[in-house]
Structures are given as structure tokens and as C-alpha cells.
């Protein structure tokens, strides 16, 4: 069976980097080539418009709630998609022959439907024929588990949270590219990743590999569950080696799951803590972890790649992302996490901040130089995001 190529939409680093913030200009209007498709339009107003997403999305949404700014038709599609998201696919339905788990919800369930997953549900990546690819860790009866080539890098990445992704999808490519965190004094120089196959700026995945939620879902069905579908255009993804005819699900299945993910409400904004927020800005956390990703989108990320040092090297490239480049982790929803980074390597937020290197070195040093009281105040506030 050919190895499925990586898009790895489900991968998202839970890092906590920092730098100095600059005033946020108004977001541009997406050009026609980057506007939403008809099936997306009702589910996602322009995220780069003041007073749209977060304000409209919530009176304190709970994990797994749908956005309140979607119409009834979009809500109905999302409800249908949620049922498929929770469906346990069987071998008779095409699950496998190589897979990780049999449902989307198996990996995205903390603290509720559409959330992150624990380390035990991590995806395995390796290098195959010079490209970073996923390597499922389980196989159905009659097939052998796929093994990496000896001596080739292996990288484990846990399932990321999906809350608020519809707002991130709606951001204009040019807006993301022109708002990457940059600070010459601190040596910070973020770059937007570009998916050449999709011809778009990437925004999903730990390396900002994937551009749209539909591609995100299509790849995950195939790479995580072995469910072939017509959406992915890579010919290596059209067929697998089991006895179920390909494609194993129709385009509509992929679209409904995408409708559900797109409709998931973002975490509600934290309470104002002027002292902690000033520290966050003063030591430099907000150049990369922008409190306003765009007007109305409070994701605490610039959605761009930054080099965070050799300790975080995956030893793999991913389009414009080098081995130690990672997309700035959106910090919204940090309140629900107790382990950090793409591989859950650290379970303490203070230690996670101190672990940053590369472009975040000077910011880390400023944090380390803070009085203990200021460090405690900042970490306490971060736990409320």
C-alpha cells in the first residue's frame, strides 16, 4: 500500500512564546480568489471584520458549543456533521487498513467535542522519499502495522483543539502574510507558510501546513482513519488496499464534518487583568501571540511560523517550515490544557515559557528576569485564556 502523503491538518503546537506588540491595522477584504465557498458562507462571516467573530460567537460558550452567529441552515449542517464526527467507522465501512483511531471524536474530546487529545492519541510522522508523511500506528486484521525506515526521524504530535477554526479559516491570506510577528531588536521574523498544492497561505496544523477546513478534514479521514474520499486531489490518496470500494465516503460526508468544525465556537475571551496583560506586552509575548489575531479574532497567535530553537527540531521540513519552525500556537482555550507543546513534553506553564529558544530567546530572558510576583501574575492570567 502506498504511504499517504502528509497534510497533517490535525497538528497544532501548544507553545507559549512572546514578544512586543504593535498597533493592529484594519484587516483587508479578501480578494475573490480567497473568499468562502457557498457552503462556507453561511457558517463564517469575514473574520477580518470588526465586531464580527468573537463578539458574535458568544455569551460564554462551553466547549463543543456551536457559534451563535450562524444561520439555521448552517446549524443543521453542523449538527449533521457532529453526528459523523462522533461516528465509529467499521472495517466494513472502509476504516483502515492502516489507521490510528476509528472516529474523529476519539482524538478530539478534551474538554468536550472538538477539543484536543491526549498524548496517547498522538499522530506519528516520519520522512518518506524525502517528504514529511504520516505513518499510522495500527492496522486491521490481515495487514501489518507500518514501520518507519531505520534511522529516519520520527515525530509525535498530539491532536489539537478545533474550537474557533472557522474564524481562522476566514482570515485573508494577504492579511496573515503581512501581520507575521517581526521584531528586529528581538530577532523575531515570522513567515507565513504556503501550501503549494492548495496555492494558499497555510493556517492549520502545527506547521501551518493546511489552508482550508475541508482539506483539513479530508486528509484526517484518510490519514487518521484510512477512510478514502474524493476531496483530496493527490492520486496516492484515492485508493487503499482494503476490500471496500474507493472512495469509501462521498464528498458530502467530508463537507458535513467540515461544517461542524467550522461552526465550533471559539473560547470566550478572558477577564481583563490589566497588570498581567501589560506584562505580556512589555516582555514581548504579543508579537507572536497576538491578542488580536485580526479584528474580532482573539486567538493569541499571528498564525505564522517562527523558529523556536534546536530543542524543538522535528528534523523534518514542511513546505517553508524548517525543522525548528512551528506555527505560533493560538492560546485561546489554554484554560483547558495542562500539558504544552506539540508532544505534551511539559506539564507546567512556567516551565513551558522558560523552554522557548530561537526567536523567543530574548523574550524568555525578560520573563526570567521578572520578579517572582510578576511571573506568578502572568502565569495565573494565561491559565484563564
What pLDDT is stored for residue 1 in this prediction? 38
Give the C-alpha separation, 122 to 158, whole Å. 4
Per-residue pLDDT tens for 229-264? 999 766 666 789 999 999 999 999 999 999 999 999
What pLDDT is stored for residue 236 in this prediction? 63
Per-residue pLDDT tens for 258-284? 999 999 999 999 999 999 999 999 999
What pLDDT is stored for residue 27 in this prediction? 36
State the average pLDDT over residues 221-225.
94
Query: Residue 88: CB partners within 8 Å, gap ≥ 6?
Result: 102, 103, 106
Give the C-alpha separation, 191 to 272, whole Å. 30
Band of residue 61 on the pLDDT scale cut at 50, 70, 90: confident
pTM for the structure as a whole: 0.86
**What does 97-120 look like in DSSP terms, one character per residue?**
SEES-SSSTTTS-BSSTT-B--GG
C-alpha cell at 365: 530572558
Give strand pairing partners of 5.
133
Give the C-alpha separation, 351 to 362, whole Å. 16
What angle (nearest 5°) sits at the alpha carbon of residue 271, between those of residues 269 and 273? 125
What pLDDT is stored for residue 197 in this prediction? 86
Residue 225 CB coordination number (10 Å): 26
Residue 166 CB coordination number (10 Å): 31
Give the C-alpha separation, 243 to 226, whole Å. 12
Residue 372 is given by DSSP the state H
Domain extent listing, the chain = 32-173+199-263
Per-residue pLDDT tens for 290-328? 999 999 999 999 999 999 999 999 999 999 999 999 999
Residue 3 is given by DSSP the state P
Amino acid at each position: 500500500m502506498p504511504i499517504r502523503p502528509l497534510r497533517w491538518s490535525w497538528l497544532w503546537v501548544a507553545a507559549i512564546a512572546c514578544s512586543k506588540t504593535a498597533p493592529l491595522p484594519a484587516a483587508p477584504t479578501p480578494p475573490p480568489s480567497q473568499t468562502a465557498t457557498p457552503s462556507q458562507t453561511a457558517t463564517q462571516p469575514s473574520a477580518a471584520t470588526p465586531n464580527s467573530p468573537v463578539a458574535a460567537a458568544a455569551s460564554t460558550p462551553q466547549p463543543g458549543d456551536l457559534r451563535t452567529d450562524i444561520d439555521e441552515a448552517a446549524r443543521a449542517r453542523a449538527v449533521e456533521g457532529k453526528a459523523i464526527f462522533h461516528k465509529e467507522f467499521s472495517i466494513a465501512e472502509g476504516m483502515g487498513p492502516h489507521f490510528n483511531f476509528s472516529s474523529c471524536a476519539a482524538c478530539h474530546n478534551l474538554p468536550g467535542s472538538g477539543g484536543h487529545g491526549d498524548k496517547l492519541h498522538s499522530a506519528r510522522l516520519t520522512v518518506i522519499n524525502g517528504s514529511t508523511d504520516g505513518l499510522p500506528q495500527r492496522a486491521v486484521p490481515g495487514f501489518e502495522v507500518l514501520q518507519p525506515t531505520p534511522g529516519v526521524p520520527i515525530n509525535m504530535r498530539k491532536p489539537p483543539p478545533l474550537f474557533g477554526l472557522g474564524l481562522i479559516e476566514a482570515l485573508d491570506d494577504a492579511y496573515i502574510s503581512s501581520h507575521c510577528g517581526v521584531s528586529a531588536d528581538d530577532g523575531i521574523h515570522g513567515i507565513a507558510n504556503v501550501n503549494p498544492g492548495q496555492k494558499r497561505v497555510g493556517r492549520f496544523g502545527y506547521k501551518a501546513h493546511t489552508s482550508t477546513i475541508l482539506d483539513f478534514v479530508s486528509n484526517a479521514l484518510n490519514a487518521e482513519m484510512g477512510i478514502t474520499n474524493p476531496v483530496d486531489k493527490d492520486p496516492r490518496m484515492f485508493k487503499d488496499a482494503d476490500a471496500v470500494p474507493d472512495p469509501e465516503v462521498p464528498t458530502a460526508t467530508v463537507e458535513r464534518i467540515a461544517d461542524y468544525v467550522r461552526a465550533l465556537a471559539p473560547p470566550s475571551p478572558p477577564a481583563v487583568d490589566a497588570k498581567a496583560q501589560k506584562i505580556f506586552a512589555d516582555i514581548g509575548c504579543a508579537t507572536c501571540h497576538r491578542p488580536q489575531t485580526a479584528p474580532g479574532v482573539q486567538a493569541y497567535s499571528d498564525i505564522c511560523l517562527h523558529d523556536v530553537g534546536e530543542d524543538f527540531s522535528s528534523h523534518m521540513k514542511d513546505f517553508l517550515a524548517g525543522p525548528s519552525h512551528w506555527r505560533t500556537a493560538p492560546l485561546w482555550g489554554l484554560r483547558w490544557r495542562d500539558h504544552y507543546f506539540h508532544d505534551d513534553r511539559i506539564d507546567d506553564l512556567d516551565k513551558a515559557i522558560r523552554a522557548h529558544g530561537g526567536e523567543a530567546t530574548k523574550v524568555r530572558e525578560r520573563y526570567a528576569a521578572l520578579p517572582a510576583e510578576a511571573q506568578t501574575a502572568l502565569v495565573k492570567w494565561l491559565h484563564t485564556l
